[in-house]
Amino acid sequence: QYRSVRFETEVLDTDNYQGNAVVNYTDRDVPYTRIIEHKHFEFGTQPKTVISREYSSEWKVGMEPYYPVNNEENNALYRKYRELADREKNVIFGGRLGQYRYYDMDKVIAAALEAADAAL
C-alpha cells in the first residue's frame, strides 16, 4: 500500500516567495505538505517565481506511488515478499517503493550504490 501526491503549480508575480527551495508544512490546518519554489534550486534571479504546492493523497490505480504506508499489515507483507526474493537469484529491491521504506535522497543513492556493488 502506498501514498501518492498531487501538485498545484502557480506562477507568482514576485521575485521571491519563500526564500528557499523547499519548505515543509506540518500544521494539520494546512492542506499541503510542502511548497517548492523551483528557482532556488539553481539560484534563479527571474522577476517572477514558480511554486508547487504538494498535497498528500491516497494512491489509486493509475496514480504514481510515492511513499510506502508503514503499518504492521503492510510491513508483514513486505517481509513475505523479501523472504521469497531471498530464495531467488538476481532479485534486487531498490528505492522507497522496492525496499518499502521512506528514504531521503542521500540515503536512497547510498543504498543504490551498495546494491550495485553487491550485484556486481
Give residue 43's pLDDT: 82
At residue 12, the 3 state secondary structure works out as strand
Residues 6+ apart with CB under 8 A from 46: 15, 39
Give residue 29's pLDDT: 95
What pTM was estimated for this model as a whole? 0.72
Domain boundaries, the chain: 2-58, 70-119
Give residue 12's pLDDT: 98
pLDDT in 10s for each residue of the chain, 120 residues = 899 999 999 999 999 999 999 999 999 999 999 999 999 998 888 999 999 999 999 999 999 999 889 899 999 999 999 999 999 988 888 888 888 888 888 998 999 999 899 888
Three cell numbers at 115? Answer: 546494491
Q: Are 95 and 104 in contact (CB under 8 A)?
A: no
Give residue 63's pLDDT: 92
Q: Are 37 and 50 in contact (CB under 8 A)?
A: yes
In sequence order, the β-bridge partners of residue 10 are: 51
**Which residue from 63, 101, 68, 99 is spatially nearest to 82, judged by alpha carbons?**
99
Give residue 4's pLDDT: 95
Give residue 30's pLDDT: 96
